[in-house]
Amino acid sequence: MPLYKTITVSSSTTVYIWKIEEDITTLSRNIKLTDHCQNRLQGMKSELHQRGFMSIRHLLAEAGYTDFDLYYDKNGKPHLHDGKHISITHSYTFTAIIVSNQPVGIDIEKQRDKILRIAHKFTPIEEYYTLTNADARMRKLTIVWGAKESLYKLYSQEGLSFLKHIDVTDFDFDDGKTIATVNYEGVVSTYDLTFMEFEGFTCVYGF
């Protein structure tokens, strides 16, 4: 089974990444779902989404959990019954979870040129035109999007805006790390972010 990578961030925080290569039948073997999640699975029209959903249950098993240890709040944010924090992400052929004793967020994105067209919606685009290479702009903007998406999941507040409320400090690709600030309703919070690129995908996690 293709557990792609396990990253021990600290003694209390671990990232698990899965590369989806199996069919839905293989992924469904020995996995029991809650009624809620079974209904969610059956409602998915895309087999790739179904495979992603089931691969996340294998990542839960790697972390020592089952689907019955997981629940979702009214905003759709996942939680674990033992009180640990979890964040979940899926993009095409990769899924990932992060489990920690503190609030965390994770995001995986496929690197696509489309992000150049929508960048103005989530970040001041002029900051990135110092990069004359279009591929480098695409890669950097994907990291910025992933950073903001991971913090959006962590923060989990309705009305939080990628453009207005989350600011990612500029970084070099070789850094692998940056910080971001969330300024929302008069409260300012700073978060550490780690990013990595593999097989045309970008993964960012923060806490």
The average pLDDT across 8-32 equals: 96
Q: What is the average pLDDT across 138-155? A: 95
Per-residue confidence band for 130, with pLDDT thresholds at 50, 70 and 90:
low
Confidence of residue 133 (pLDDT cuts 50, 70, 90): confident
Q: Is the pLDDT of residue 90 over 80?
A: yes
Reduce the DSSP state of residue 38 to 3 states and report it: helix
Distance CA 99, CA 169 (A): 25
Pair of tokens at residue 200: 């045309």
Domains and CATH numbers, the chain: 3-102 (3.90.470.20), 108-206 (3.90.470.20)
Residue 127 has pLDDT above 90, yes or no: no
Segment holding 188, helix H or strand E: strand 187-198
Q: Is 132's pLDDT higher than 70?
A: no
The pTM score is: 0.94
Residues of the chain with pLDDT > 70: what percent?
Answer: 96
Q: Above 90 in pLDDT, residue 156? A: no
Q: Is the pLDDT of residue 31 over 70?
A: yes
**Rounded-to-integer distance, Cα 144 and Cα 174, Å:** 15
Find out whether 17 and 2 touch, Cβ atoms under 8 Å: no
173-187 per-position pLDDT tens digit: 999 999 999 999 999
Q: What is the pLDDT of residue 3?
A: 96
